[in-house]
Amino acid sequence: MARVSSLLSFCFTLFIFFHGYTAQKFPNECQLDQLNALEPTHVLKSEAGRIEIWDHQAPQLRCSGVSFARYIIEAKGLYLPAFYNTAKLSFVAKGHGLMGRVIPGCAETYQDSPLFQPGRGGQYDEGQGQEGRQGQGQEGRHGQGQEGRHGQGQEGRHGQGQEQGQRQSQSFRDMHQKVEQIRTGDTIATSPGVAQWFYNDGQQPLVIVAVFDLASDQNQLDRNPRPFYLAGNNPEGQVWLQGREQNPQNHIISGFAPEIIAQAWKIDLDLAHKIQKPNEKHGNIVRVEGQFSAIRPPLRGQRPQEEDEERRGGEGNGLEETICSARVTENLDDPSNADVYKPQLGYISTLNSYDLPILRFLRLSALRGSIRQNAMVLPQWNANANAVLYVTEGEAQVQVVNDNGDRVFDGQISQGQLLSIPQGFAVVKRATSQRFEWVEFKTNANAQINTLAGRTSVVRGLPLEVVSNGFGISLEEARRVKFNTLETTLTHSSGPISQGRPRVAYA
Amino acid sequence: MARVSSLLSFCFTLFIFFHGYTAQKFPNECQLDQLNALEPTHVLKSEAGRIEIWDHQAPQLRCSGVSFARYIIEAKGLYLPAFYNTAKLSFVAKGHGLMGRVIPGCAETYQDSPLFQPGRGGQYDEGQGQEGRQGQGQEGRHGQGQEGRHGQGQEGRHGQGQEQGQRQSQSFRDMHQKVEQIRTGDTIATSPGVAQWFYNDGQQPLVIVAVFDLASDQNQLDRNPRPFYLAGNNPEGQVWLQGREQNPQNHIISGFAPEIIAQAWKIDLDLAHKIQKPNEKHGNIVRVEGQFSAIRPPLRGQRPQEEDEERRGGEGNGLEETICSARVTENLDDPSNADVYKPQLGYISTLNSYDLPILRFLRLSALRGSIRQNAMVLPQWNANANAVLYVTEGEAQVQVVNDNGDRVFDGQISQGQLLSIPQGFAVVKRATSQRFEWVEFKTNANAQINTLAGRTSVVRGLPLEVVSNGFGISLEEARRVKFNTLETTLTHSSGPISQGRPRVAYA
Amino acid sequence: MARVSSLLSFCFTLFIFFHGYTAQKFPNECQLDQLNALEPTHVLKSEAGRIEIWDHQAPQLRCSGVSFARYIIEAKGLYLPAFYNTAKLSFVAKGHGLMGRVIPGCAETYQDSPLFQPGRGGQYDEGQGQEGRQGQGQEGRHGQGQEGRHGQGQEGRHGQGQEQGQRQSQSFRDMHQKVEQIRTGDTIATSPGVAQWFYNDGQQPLVIVAVFDLASDQNQLDRNPRPFYLAGNNPEGQVWLQGREQNPQNHIISGFAPEIIAQAWKIDLDLAHKIQKPNEKHGNIVRVEGQFSAIRPPLRGQRPQEEDEERRGGEGNGLEETICSARVTENLDDPSNADVYKPQLGYISTLNSYDLPILRFLRLSALRGSIRQNAMVLPQWNANANAVLYVTEGEAQVQVVNDNGDRVFDGQISQGQLLSIPQGFAVVKRATSQRFEWVEFKTNANAQINTLAGRTSVVRGLPLEVVSNGFGISLEEARRVKFNTLETTLTHSSGPISQGRPRVAYA
């Protein structure tokens, strides 16, 4: 009996071994017979918000080679600066706030103007934007070519005047790198290793979703997203990584010896200790008490082109205009810039490396869609990219078909859910609520869509004989298939569509 | 006893575990101690042809990161449109036919001219090329800049005139994207996600071989080739994929709900049902009954340069000249374009991204060789690419040496066989039949060859002292090694060469 | 009892299975909780030197995707030509010598001038450089455009005059590709598949360290470094590869049938046999008896710019000026070219694709540092690259912090040791010997550094409010953190820093 059991165990072992061996030798993470609308699997709570993380090891995300997260930052919440090992594309799903990135080696081009706020440190309010604007205008008048040197001069004076500064602690001024106002619809590209922070200066929660491209060359580590904190902490640990569940995650400065920090920053050891000891309860999103008076440009009203130009012109004409001032943000919610616009149906806007050249390096692009009830996005596939679709509002019926011709997804997706659509998989979407809005992130700087129906579709490009012979229909029927639909991307879908379980084979 | 057996089982388990663990952590699919001439492992039969597939999980193809297939399309056979998740490079090994690709968003630039065929739909014959040419010439005369608008006008009129079209079903005309004549020697580059079809308009079988680059960034799924069918089916299933053996593969349109298809194409539900139900016996290559009257340009006679220019000029001068009219085909069988040409020995032609710029994106290039009996391709290695060599005619003796200095292949390869030659592996070929013809696909847009002998070889570039000390021979002997062979790529090899089993170590 | 044991074994099996399965499905080679200063793990001894190899499967090197080796070539030692499947970046750590690369298809631009050495073959000495220089000058005077043809003429004459050459074996002359003088500090870029040799013409050992980028697209094989020998052998086998421990490694020419070699090189079978039979005791670095009289340009005295220009000008103006004459070497030891230079502290020089354009293709760059006792390189991280740091002289205290905020390395590294610093990991270095010199290789053609402290650091780019809220400190304290350190990269660190075991969590 024991021998039998033992033999059984042995055989099972062998089976497992060969199973494991085969699985290992022939990885096929895109052998997807069923997709799911995904919800976050981990929530990291912070003092003034939370970070929700999707499991990047779910088969469909593994196939797409991406990771996904949602940041919910409450009013007056500050998402402390952090950087990633991957390229990141973020989308502001709700609310508005401030965003700053620190690009290594670039100058601190945002400075308080001493003329306008003598001794007013910590007293700025939301109206400060006006002053900042005037200050900037003045900078511009000083002459663009001089700003760089001017800035360094200021900086030097500051540094040397430290003693003095300490005496009049209420009257110092600050300088830092660019700070941008962000609002719903903004899409933000971030390079790996570049630190970024967000601040919610509104009353509503600021909701940002972001995709991390694990599979591109930009990520030189393994296929895991790794946030590096420059401040704050994560008491719950990097729960989405194996073997990291136990340890709380601290900011990287806390990892050095205090003496190192004291010497590097030329501060006393007490302050170094203070900095290194993170407040374990706060997490990585902290609540700002009092004013948050970072210098910022005035809010973009309807994005007037002139002001935009002016603002850019005010940043100087030196070297920093190239990398340091590269645009990384574009708003996708303005229908006047839509690529497809049909008043009765909705609109679709795309963002690729022609719009935002930095995307060429990041190998990412985005698409924003907003359609009305019963509008249908004609069936299509991504030729050269994987996509993840995140619903920002409403719900839709979606069908996805894989390479085998099986319907691998057939159901509703609704606000807050994520759906992965791998390269080549065909997808159709139909709004089932009054409005369906979503954002798609794609793993190619110039993702191409092919449609199955409509004026620019693949059937239109095929000769009638190919359509006729391919589908076993008459030339006349083929002609209807080819020419009946005149629309390109969006059409009106009337009546309910039968819906059921995904079919794995035509029967 | 039982305990012993149990313990044994336990230990074995541990061994297996560590074995598995090691194998997994240190993948070494290029640790190749023996290569083989490969034959197809799966055959997918269709009504009018068959698709033969090489197992892409054979160690040597896994190392090269490619997949390989051969399409045999019988007379009047139509390979229905399909696209892949990978870049593809095809070579027409035999026969001639028509080829069409549908590039998303490009205009339908091939139109029937109503002047020449009133009420003649479905009656075109092979002589129609002449008329097509005249029609095109006329288009040209209309003015190049106007073609785009003209085309759209036609299109609109068609669509609106649908009712009318249905009445006079024998008199409609068609428009579609570019259709090209292909013939033996044509090498065709195809981007991922781009649908392509072939039609055999000759009497002989049309044989096309194709390589699929699984390892490049263009493929964003796992390392498996995945054909997506736009029409037709594959009743035998994707037999080369694990877990797909059971299910027949259908075209992707069949995966959507019929209502979706009806709404997307604006056709009635009956027709949608008809389209979705593939004829299971036909497969993906169907026989065209009656005429196949897709509009096509006249056949290239000896590729006259003027006509070529003219034809290109006739395609319009608008946006579509960039991506939409990018050249994707080049013939490698014309000795007058050969890169190496020796009347007594043979010729070699290469195709890289300088010849065909689209290859830069696809990371692929090709080489065509044709040598006579006893001609030898001097020993060489690929510096920056893997290669797969497919024999289109005759046979040759081939020796391949790996990084360890072991002869990992030593034998004959003959028509229809495939040999993988990984990066750095040295190879020598000698024709043993009257003529030996082959095509090599390489996984680099500009694959570089280094030769071991001849006027441009590595030994010629080395100082005599290095050759002499390296081989332990005198300077005079080194001088013979360096300078005796004046030829560059091809030489004459007289007499038989001893042949045996691959040697794994020098003995 | 037996059943229990059996069940236990079964359960353990299951555990192992799931463990193995998980580990396999979710590779996380960058989950590094501890780094080590690495020493070579294998030594391959040769007649006149040795090759020391780091285990590329050590977790931290696996994470970085690189392999590392050190070549120690004794006086009069010749490292025989070999090529790799990967891009390679080498650094001359000590000594000086000659280096030659053979680029396929490029002309043999280095020729003996018959006017200056009639009948003097084999009698050149170290002073021959002077003559070579004169010869080159004369070449230049002949007219640049003619050199190519001139060279071919010589070549042809040689080949045809072989019989004559054999009679007067002491009076032949040679021609070969470029030979460069190398010396300490030279950084040399080598493409995959390009054969390279080194010769030590000094009295001291010539020490070269090299990094091999296994993870880039340039390597199309698996993630193992594979040297391909063109001459010589490795009797100990490729010990760092699984399953290759048993077989000695031979040069690739030895793998072909002798008849093939005889026919390819047009030599007799005896000589072919002789070439193929490597002297098993010599290895891949052999001792040159007598003179090593390869033609070479004169040694660069302090790299005078004019001579450099002149030398390049003398190489001809034809096609070979593009790829064939692309610069691949740059010296990083000249403080006058330093990117950061502080007489009291040290200097840092970087080499990226702006300096050496070939690096763009190789995806590699380098950094050379030399600092004095107690100088500190301010804490920093690599934004878009992995790095490996090799110590060429002295020792330093180094701390490395990972994404979790854990100090994963805290210790001394000294001459000859290697430390891997993955993307994003923060590192600080402080010289603890009189001088600390190192070279860093980075897996990006334009690796970016972000610093944590100093005038161009990330804290300087952040608004005061972010620093203050992030670290839980007052605005005044934040201001000290931001502005106290005025230096950019190097600072002075006084006093010893407490040092202990790596901390895996803040406590």
Nearest CA among B368, B309, B308, B363 for reference residue B334: B368
CA distance A226 to B164: 62
CA distance A470 to B238: 19
Which chain B positions have a beta carbon within 8 Å of A401's beta carbon? Answer: 252, 255-256
Write out pLDDT tens, residues C331-345: 999 888 888 899 899
Write out pLDDT tens, residues A28-82: 889 888 999 999 999 999 999 999 999 999 999 999 999 999 999 999 999 999 9
pLDDT for the residue numbered C51: 96
Whether A176 sits inside 8 A of C462 (CB atoms) is: yes
Instruction: Tell me the CA end-to-end span of chain A in Å, nearest whole number.
Output: 47
pLDDT for the residue numbered A278: 66
Radius of gyration, CA atoms only, chain B: 27
Write out pLDDT tens, residues C394-444: 999 999 999 999 999 999 999 999 999 999 999 999 999 999 999 999 999
Q: How confident is the model at residue A20 (pLDDT cuts 50, 70, 90)?
A: very low
Q: How many residues appear in chain B?
A: 507
Phi–psi pair at B405, nearest 5 degrees: 80, 10
In chain B, list all ranges with CATH 2.60.120.10: 42-115+126-155+171-321, 333-492
Please state whether C32 falls in left (phi above 0), alpha (psi between -120 and 50) or beta: beta
Q: Report the residue of chain C nearest A230, measured CA to CA.
A: C470
Best interface-test mutation with B: which of C256, C288, C319, C322 has the largest number of B CBs within 10 A?
A: C256
Report the greatest alpha carbon distance in chain B. 95
In chain C, list all ranges with CATH 2.60.120.10: 42-321, 333-492
CA distance B400 to B398: 7
Write out pLDDT tens, residues B171-220: 457 888 889 999 999 999 999 999 999 999 999 999 999 999 999 999 99
pLDDT for the residue numbered B497: 54
Whether B476 sits inside 8 A of C248 (CB atoms) is: no
Q: How confident is the model at residue C40 (pLDDT cuts 50, 70, 90)?
A: very high
* Average pLDDT along chain B: 80
CA distance A432 to A395: 6
Dig out the tokens for A460 from the structure. Answer: 């239109």
A45 and B47 in contact (C-beta within 8 Å)? no
Residue B138: pLDDT above 60? no
Residue A269: pLDDT above 60? yes
Residue A84: pLDDT above 90? yes
Q: How confident is the model at residue B304 (pLDDT cuts 50, 70, 90)?
A: very low
Which chain A positions have a beta carbon within 8 Å of C430's beta carbon? Answer: 260
Which chain A positions have a beta carbon within 8 Å of B223's beta carbon? Answer: 27
Please tell me the number of Cα atoms within 13 Å of A176 on its side-chain side.
28
A98 and A294 in contact (C-beta within 8 Å)? yes
pLDDT for the residue numbered C492: 86
Q: Who wins on pLDDT, A7 or C87? A: C87
pLDDT for the residue numbered A366: 96
Residue B367: pLDDT above 90? yes
Whether A256 sits inside 8 A of C401 (CB atoms) is: yes
pLDDT for the residue numbered A24: 41
CA distance B447 to B387: 9
Q: Is C438 exposed, middle or buried (0-12, 13-18, 19+ CB in 10 A)?
A: buried
Best interface-test mutation with B: which of C60, C76, C222 has the largest number of B CBs within 10 A?
A: C222
Instruction: Write the CB contacts of B264 (distance below 8 Å, at least 6 apart in sequence).
Output: A376, A378, A379, A428, A452, A453, A454, A485, A491, B256
Residue with tokens 């069409």, as numbered in its chain: B100
Would you call B357 helix, strand, or coil by DSSP? Answer: coil
Q: Who wins on pLDDT, B263 or A335? A: B263
Q: Report the residue of chain A nearest B11, measured CA to CA.
A: A10
Which chain A positions have a beta carbon within 8 Å of C14's beta carbon? Answer: 16
Which chain B positions have a beta carbon within 8 Å of A477's beta carbon? Answer: 267, 271, 274
- Which residues are bridge partners to C454 per DSSP? none
pLDDT for the residue numbered B197: 96
pLDDT for the residue numbered B438: 97
CA distance C452 to A193: 12
User: What is the dotted CATH code of the domain comprising B333-492?
Assistant: 2.60.120.10
Write out pLDDT tens, residues B334-351: 888 888 899 899 999 999
pLDDT for the residue numbered B25: 46
Would you call A471 helix, strand, or coil by DSSP? Answer: helix
- Greatest mean pLDDT range, A437-446, B106-115, C492-501: A437-446
The ipTM, to two decimals, is: 0.81
Q: Give the distance from residue C236's alpha carbon to the nearest chain B alpha carbon, in angstroms.
A: 11
Look at strands C49-53 and C42-46 and give their pairing. antiparallel
Residue with tokens 């004794």, as numbered in its chain: C74
A407 and A325 in contact (C-beta within 8 Å)? no
Look at strands A435-442 and C346-351 and give their pairing. unpaired
Least confident of A276-280, A304-308, B356-360: A304-308
pLDDT for the residue numbered A11: 44
Write out pLDDT tens, residues A208-217: 999 999 999 9
Would you call B491 helix, strand, or coil by DSSP? Answer: strand
Whether B224 sits inside 8 A of A404 (CB atoms) is: no
Q: How confident is the model at residue C247 (pLDDT cuts 50, 70, 90)?
A: confident
User: What is the dotted CATH code of the domain comprising A334-492?
Assistant: 2.60.120.10
Residue C388: pLDDT above 80? yes
CA distance A422 to A63: 7
Residue A126: pLDDT above 90? no
C212 and C88 in contact (C-beta within 8 Å)? yes
Q: Give the distance from residue A369's alpha carbon to the nearest chain B alpha carbon, in angstroms.
A: 18
Which chain A positions have a beta carbon within 8 Å of B153's beta carbon? Answer: none
Nearest CA among B108, C237, C92 for reference residue A457: B108
Nearest CA among B243, B140, B184 for reference residue B368: B184
- Which residues are bridge partners to B377 per DSSP? B429, B490
Q: Please give the average per-residue pLDDT across B225-230, as a whole number.
A: 95
Instruction: Write the CB contacts of A306 (distance below 8 Å, at least 6 apart in sequence).
Output: none
**Contact partners of B by the rule of 3+ C-beta pairs under 8 A?**
A, C
Q: Give the distance from residue C346's alpha carbon to the nearest chain A alpha carbon, in angstroms.
A: 16
Instruction: Write the CB contacts of C241 (distance below 8 Å, at least 6 apart in sequence).
Output: B28, B31, C224, C226
A234 and A284 in contact (C-beta within 8 Å)? yes
Whether A172 sits inside 8 A of C479 (CB atoms) is: yes
Would you call C13 helix, strand, or coil by DSSP? Answer: helix
A102 and A81 in contact (C-beta within 8 Å)? yes
Q: How confident is the model at residue A497 (pLDDT cuts 50, 70, 90)?
A: low
Would you call A233 helix, strand, or coil by DSSP? Answer: strand
Q: Give the distance from residue C487's alpha carbon to the nearest chain A alpha carbon, in angstroms.
A: 10
Residue A311: pLDDT above 60? no
Statement: A42-113+126-143+172-321 belongs to CATH 2.60.120.10: yes
Instruction: Write the CB contacts of A247 (distance below 8 Å, at least 6 apart in sequence).
Output: A237, A238, C404, C406, C504, C505
Which chain C positions have a beta carbon within 8 Å of B352's beta carbon? Answer: none
Write out pLDDT tens, residues C276-315: 986 667 899 999 988 888 877 776 544 444 334 333 333 3
**What are the strands, taking DSSP E only, across C85-185?**
87-94, 96-102, 110-111, 175-176, 179-183
Nearest CA among C16, A4, C101, C109 for reference residue B12: C16
**Contact partners of A by the rule of 3+ C-beta pairs under 8 A?**
B, C
In chain A, list all ranges with CATH 2.60.120.10: 42-113+126-143+172-321, 334-492
Q: Who wins on pLDDT, A204 or C173? A: A204
Q: How confident is the model at residue B324 (pLDDT cuts 50, 70, 90)?
A: confident
Report the greatest alpha carbon distance in chain A. 94
pLDDT for the residue numbered B299: 63
Nearest to B30 among C23, C177, C221 (CB): C221
Percent residues over pLDDT 70 in chain B: 75
pLDDT for the residue numbered A135: 34
Write out pLDDT tens, residues C165-190: 343 444 457 888 889 999 999 999 99
Nearest CA among A273, A262, A329 for reference residue A300: A329
Full 3-state SS string of B2-63: HHHHHHHHHHHHHHHHHHHHHHHHCCCCCCCCCCCCECCCEEEEECCEEEEECCCCCHHHHH
Least confident of A291-305, A477-491, B109-123, C428-442: B109-123
Query: Hey, what CATH topology would domain C42-321 get?
Result: Jelly Rolls (2.60.120)
Q: Give the distance from residue A54's alpha carbon to the nearest chain B alpha carbon, in angstroms.
A: 20
State which amino acid sits at residue C409: F
> Got the DSSP string for B449-478?
EEESSSTTSHHHHS-HHHHHHHHT--HHHH
**Count of Cβ atoms closer than 10 Å to residue A439 Cβ:** 26
What is the CATH architecture of B42-115+126-155+171-321?
Sandwich (2.60)
B192 and B84 in contact (C-beta within 8 Å)? yes
